[in-house]
Structure 1
């Protein structure tokens, strides 16, 4: 894998406009993996085939991000709104974490990847949660890339629950309303142990956030691709990071 992206790194930018600078790799990349169903339709396949092939793209991008030096990779795997999909499709999606981890966990451990999950665990089937928790247990001491699955995740629910918890602290007299800061809200978010994403990638040509990390993406760089997720490759990831490196992040100020 290193040889595959070596041509992107530390090149003369005049001759290689899409080169990657090692010193400016985004620390946290978040991805909205979209287009599985449309990819399947274009190939004359059922929707579940798109989800299955999307799982293969997860592995490729994870390994590539790890080799590049990305520290955190958050994958939007299932939203709180996805329960509205047909029952058989939801059931298949709930089995994918088990299948993915049963096949790929050994290599993720070998690559020093740490698996995490953020989302509302109480709504997940026991077999899905068990697979995730076992992967978290086996990789908790790994020090490489953190692969963070956003599973049964919804940003509005996350923010509401954060505000509710702060309200309970006010009722208990632990804090006054006029003392609440951004840091207080962040401590109650599901991402309280993660830095905000530097780069958001969304596939399939859609140009919206779909209730994903609304607070955390306030100053992230966005990169949209028309490529459906199952067709997303390491090269697309490099292209996104190359574009990220061409931008200047001002955070509302001046450079």
Structure 2
């Protein structure tokens, strides 16, 4: 059962009488790890570690709510500008997450997907990511998508290059969408950004064209199942017209 059907009934009608589309795909810009640590006079890595706990909680919460696809922006193509020590810490946390959580994801019938060019990472990490993706590739439950070295503009450029040799008359929105990293996934219904920032930061610009946007003040390490449920409840109160009346 979808998250909307589970909370509003099969018609999707909300408490205020509006009708919202089925909630299949939630995408989150996970922001605020560094500020969470700074508020506690801790090193930034402490915030990133706590952020991994939030990833686990939100991933479990999404499954419990029947959300088909959860996409998390973990490492952007612009994050290479950060200090080398912090990048190393992030790569170490990514290794640890895959090694410790892949069993739970697999046993929960979750399919792990990666968008972006993760081949830019160290060879051993690339192999670890590829093995995890392959191990869960036939799972038929929900899908957890992780954005790694991901930038939406780069993704669109790569898709355009794939279409460059085709007859222009055959190229439409559906053709380009099929070449995106998310070509086989539903469009984003709800896009959440934590920490109070209100920008998309080059994240899923195409896929979120008609998404409901939700900016919350909660720092990512403090975002969990309850916060996700609240976000879904907010979504259920929205009226989606997709350009119509």
TM-score by length of 2: 0.90
- Secondary structure of 1:213's aligned partner: coil
From 59, 78, 82, the equivalent of 1:85 is 82
CA-based RMSD of the aligned residues comes to 2.2
From 55, 59, 62, the equivalent of 1:62 is 59
| Cα drift, residue 9 of structure 1 | 4.2
User: Do residues 118 (structure 1) and 115 (structure 2) align?
Assistant: yes
User: Do residues 134 (structure 1) and 139 (structure 2) align?
Assistant: no
Gaps of 5+ in 2: 10-14
- Secondary structure of 2:98's aligned partner: helix
Q: Give the structure 1 partner of residue 159 of structure 2.
A: 162
The number of residue pairs the alignment matches comes to 235
CA distance, structure 2, for counterparts of residue 112 and residue 147 of structure 1: 11
- Secondary structure of 1:140's aligned partner: coil
- Secondary structure of 1:200's aligned partner: strand
Q: Deviations over 1:142-196 (max 9, x none)?
A: 11110000100001111112222211x23xxxx2x23320011112111111111
| Cα drift, residue 67 of structure 1 | 1.1
Deviates more, 1:135-144 or 1:69-78: 135-144
TM-score by length of 1: 0.86
From 80, 84, 104, the equivalent of 1:107 is 104
- Secondary structure of 2:232's aligned partner: helix
| Cα drift, residue 102 of structure 1 | 1.5
CA distance, structure 1, for counterparts of residue 211 and residue 162 of structure 2: 26
Q: Give the structure 2 partner of residue 240 of structure 1.
A: 231
Contact 1:97 1:132 in 2 (8 A): no
Q: Give the structure 1 partner of residue 188 of structure 2.
A: 197
User: Do residues 152 (structure 1) and 149 (structure 2) align?
Assistant: yes
Contact 2:21 2:240 in 1 (8 A): no
* The structure with more radius of gyration: 1
| Cα drift, residue 121 of structure 1 | 2.7
